[in-house]
A and B are shown apart, each in its own frame.
Chain A
Amino acid sequence: MIEARGLAKRYGAKRVFDGLDLDVPAGGFVLVTGPNGSGKTTLLRLVAGLAAPTAGRLEVAADRARIGFLAHEPLVYRELSALENLVLYGRLYRVPERRERIGMLLERFGLWEARREPVASFSRGMQQRLALCRALLHGPDLLLLDEPFNALDEAGAALLDAELAALAGQTFLVATHDPARLRPVATATLALA
């Protein structure tokens, strides 16, 4: 699903990483670990197509309609409600039976009651749950998750554990500071220095 050879990314004189090789087979669950600034987020952005590598070869066998991307930020409009945000993304991602799918995700992530409230009034944990709904909305084949457990309480983390288990068979590339939590489901780990 993802193959990278000699991948490098620099911002001006600053080197993020160099000579990186990566293989993520279809159905694989690869963890990306490393200290702050090691390039975990940058690698996910490269795979998502949000940034171009400085050097090397990167092939991703999924077009952007099939990629689900969870970033550090929730990537939703704060002044819109959870429902309005998901309806907008559902339209842009051409999600069939949009309302039903959105309703199901909001129920599953415990946001149904708050669906008409502006995102600005959400706690950080609720925003992360909404971000997960957004990333999963179109049923992606490839999930790029950047610190997915960030800001989630125990209940939220358990929901995400259950969701990841339900999505077994999809391809995952997950950047995390807490690899122990995901090691049981991971098929490989990439440690960035």
Chain B
Amino acid sequence: MTYLRDAAALARKDLLLELRGKETVPAMVLFVVAVFVAFRFALPQGQERAAGGLLWVAIVLTALLGLVRAFVPEREQGVLDALVLAPCDRSAIWLGKVLSVLAFLLIAEAAALPLFALFFEPVDAATVAAVLLANVGLSAIGALLAAMAVAGRAREVLLPLMFLPLAVPVVIGGVGATVTDDPARYLGFLALYDGIFAILAWATFEYVVTE
């Protein structure tokens, strides 16, 4: 319980920082809305499969936008050192960041999915389930990679280079769940992705944040 309370306190701190700074969520929402508006006019009628792909590419890139800024407050004041020194389990720092990135993504998607339904095609339950599953995996692996990238000088370049290849399975699983009549196995695939990468990130975070 203490572990979860630590993670919750760190996530709450991120939400408070965002509430004050408004630097991440507005950018994520604007990006995803701009993509849908642009493709509303660019895609020809009757291209539902292409629209399904567009939804997932937009979600992955929106997540990336949030992740690029995920550890900026910690980097700016060297706060990560103080968090690493605290006697809490270091993976609680990761979990706190996962929870805050997840919250930012959910807010962006709360704007994006209705817009997608309005412009392209209705969003069914399988797509919503796939989006929720994908959020978990993207946040889990993304928070780990963001912590790795923040230590380097070329962090804005490094993070996409590491994150996008690992996000390809999410796009495949998400598109599959969106466009097929039998989404169950794609949802299972996304759940498996979440499990594997969440365990991997949880277990390795400590080694990422110490020199």
Name A's B-contacting residues (CB within 8 A): 45, 48-52, 63-65, 67, 69, 71-80, 84, 88-89, 91-94, 118, 134
* Most chain A beta-carbon neighbours within 10 Å: one of B5, B87, B88: B87
Name the interface size band of chain B: 20 to 34
**Is A78 touching B77 in the complex (CB atoms < 8 A)?**
yes
Question: Which of A49, A50, A92 is packed against the most chain B CB atoms within 10 Å?
Answer: A92
Interface locus among B13-21, B123-131, B157-165? B13-21
* 28 examples of A-B residue contacts, CB within 8 angstroms: A45-B211, A50-B210, A50-B211, A64-B85, A64-B86, A67-B85, A69-B81, A69-B85, A71-B78, A71-B81, A71-B82, A75-B81, A76-B82, A77-B77, A78-B76, A79-B16, A79-B21, A80-B17, A84-B16, A88-B9, A88-B10, A91-B6, A92-B6, A92-B9, A92-B87, A93-B86, A93-B87, A118-B20
Chain B, interface SS category: helix
Within the assembled complex, what's the spacing in Å between the Cα atoms of A69 and B210?
15
Additional A-B contact list (12), CB under 8 Å, known A50-B85, A80-B17: A45-B211, A49-B210, A50-B210, A51-B211, A64-B85, A77-B79, A79-B21, A84-B16, A92-B9, A93-B86, A93-B87, A94-B87
Q: Given the complex of chains A and B, what is the CA–CA distance between A63 and B2 in angstroms?
A: 19
Which residue of A48, A76, A80, A88 is within 8 Å of B85 (Cβ)? A48
